[in-house]
Amino acid sequence: MIQIEIHKKLHGAHGDMDLDVNLEIQKGEFIALMGESGSGKTTLLRVLAGLENAEGDIAVEDVLWLGNRKMLPPQQREIGFIFQDYALFENMNVEENLLFVNDDKALAQRLLQMTELRRLSHRNVKGLSGGQKQRVSLCRAMMKQPKLLLMDEPLSALDPAMRSKLQDEILKLHKTFGTTTIMVSHDADASYYLSDRILVLDHGKIIADGRPQEIFVKTSKEIYTLSR
């Protein structure tokens, strides 16, 4: 279980705001984090990863990642992170990108097999398509068999066909490895399809938290009410 209670002052494009998040996440949950741009989604993800500091506590299975004026560095957090721009190590080939994280050749080959990348093992990552790069990035993130998989808009740079393929692969890996996953997404379809729980962030506060069906019914009701 992951317990999060954090505060952070943000200086965004729409002026200053407070990120205030109080949250409990169950092991194995798939959470979609939604909200307008500038609502603090990416910052929340980066605070969880230890890439940015914040006040408050983060406890993961009784290990304090943040709290008591201490911040566990990202190196010690057992996190898988997927960036929107892939962020692959460009001086390495596909397999080397995975082995750099964890020198486990069998696991690397298994992941590449699952994502149909095996024949590209020795290709330089610079020559890959966007979809292939994001799949490499997904495999790389799973190499540590992380407690927490964080994804920052993993699908947004891809075309629709590639998006649905990657969606399936994300779900397959999430289930196979029993990872707890948080995905920042703008994409309502993907969030509905993938997640068991949706959080909506607005101006740094969680304004909705529930199962996808509940959230979408609620949101469409609001839209319906507004439009009347």
Partner 1 sequence: MQEILNVISLDFAPFILSFKLAAVTTVILFILSLPLAWYLSQSNSRTKPFLEAVTALPIVLPPSVLGFYILVVLSPNSAVGAFFEDLFGVKLVFSFTGLVVASCFYSLPFMVQPLQSGFESLNKHMLEASYLAGKSKLQTVVKVALPNIKPSLITALIITFAHTVGEFGVVLMVGGSIPGETKVASVAIYEMVEVMEYGTAHIYSAFMVLISFIVLLSVYIFNHSQRKIGVL
Which DSSP category does 20 fall into? E
Q: Quick check: helix, strand or coil at residue 122?
A: coil
# residues contacting partner 1 (CB under 8 A): 24
Site for partner 1 contains 88 (CB under 8 A): yes
Site for partner 1 contains 73 (CB under 8 A): yes
Region of residue 62 (phi > 0: left; psi between -120 and 50: alpha; otherwise: beta): left
Torsion of Cα atoms, 125 then 127 then 130 then 131, to 10°: -70
Give every CB contact of residue 208 below 8 A, 6+ residues apart in sequence.
Answer: 198, 199, 200, 215, 218, 219
> At its nearest, how many Å lie between partner 1 and the CB of residue 91?
4
Tell which one of 18, 24, 61, 85 touches partner 1 (CB under 8 A).
85
In one-letter notation, the amino acid at residue 158 is L
Q: Quick check: helix, strand or coil at residue 13?
A: coil
> At its nearest, how many Å lie between partner 1 and the CB of residue 112?
17
Interacting residues with partner 1 between 15 and 54 (CB under 8 A):
49, 51
| Closer of 144 and 165 to partner 1 (Cβ) | 144
What is the distance between the alpha carbons of residues 198 and 216, in angstroms, rounded to a whole number?
A: 9
Burial of residue 19 (number of CB atoms within 10 Å: 0-12, 13-18, 19+):
buried
> At its nearest, how many Å lie between partner 1 and the CB of residue 135?
15
Site for partner 1 contains 193 (CB under 8 A): no
Tell which one of 41, 77, 163, 197 touches partner 1 (CB under 8 A).
77
Tell which one of 17, 47, 101, 198 touches partner 1 (CB under 8 A).
101
Site for partner 1 contains 157 (CB under 8 A): no
- CB-CB contact of 151 with 181 (8 Å): yes
What is the distance between the alpha carbons of residues 210 and 60, in angstroms, rounded to a whole number?
A: 21
Site for partner 1 contains 216 (CB under 8 A): no
| Closer of 68 and 75 to partner 1 (Cβ) | 75
Residues that bind partner 1 (CB under 8 A): 49, 51, 73-77, 79-81, 83, 85, 87-91, 100-102, 126, 140, 143-144
